[in-house]
Amino acid sequence: MIAPLARTPAEANLYMDIKACPSCGGNGFSGTSVVMLQDGEVYERHTGTCQECGSPREFVFRMPRDPELRLGAADFGGPEPSELLDPGEWMTVADVATGRDGGPSKSDLAFAAAAVEEALKFVPADADDIPPHAFHSLIGREAYQRMPARYSRGRLSAIAAALREQAAAPYRTPPDLP
């Protein structure tokens, strides 16, 4: 069995939430999961239905061998890039989190910062930009084509830092309006 690595439950859940249903194109998934061991690898199989049309869906992920790595990881995963979402998908997730009606909450901002930091992991150590071949999904390729300059180490680092700063800033009560 070959399955992509889900570094943390948060990453697997996000992937299942945003992966479009092949039947209706909708997003959202609800179901149950079971852990399996095969050929010395740990897998997690999720079965359930599309939240929009009710069609059956299934996701299978390879899990880290060390449960402490899986459960103790901050945000979405370790230092390696995601096998589930490409950098354009991570930036789309960040955009959605910060574009909520009524403005983003502090948790939305922290979530968006974590997503941007995931995109940043795709910049090779010896490069300044994410290579175009890292964008393997339709959403990711479209995001890259709209704004390729956004995917530089400097730009992503600045966006993540600004989001973390906003998330950590003290809450200010809005002034009374006349």
- pLDDT single digits (tens) 7-16: 888 899 999 9
Contacts of 12 (CB under 8 A, 6+ apart): 6, 44, 46, 59, 61, 84
Q: Reply yes or no on whether the pLDDT at 69 is more than 60.
A: no
Radius of gyration from C-alpha coordinates of the chain: 18
What is the biggest distance separating any 2 CA atoms in the chain, rounded to whole angstroms? 68
pLDDT at 91: 97
Give the number of other Cβ atoms within 10 Å of residue 115's Cβ: 28
State the average pLDDT over residues 92-110: 90
For strand 29-38 and strand 56-63, is the pairing parallel, antiparallel, or unpaired? Answer: unpaired
pLDDT at 75: 72
Q: Reply yes or no on whether the pLDDT at 168 is more than 60.
A: yes
Spatial distance between the Cα atoms of 57 and 67, rounded to a whole number of angstroms:
26
Q: Among residues of the chain, what percentage have pLDDT more than 70?
A: 90
Q: Reply yes or no on whether the pLDDT at 162 is more than 90.
A: yes
Mean pLDDT in the chain? 90
Show the tokens assigned to 48.
Answer: 């359930």
Selected residue with higher pLDDT from 115 and 67? 115
Q: Reply yes or no on whether the pLDDT at 70 is more than 60.
A: no
Q: Reply yes or no on whether the pLDDT at 44 is more than 90.
A: yes
In the numeric block, the tokens 């490069």 are attached to: 127
Give the number of other Cβ atoms within 10 Å of residue 123's Cβ: 21
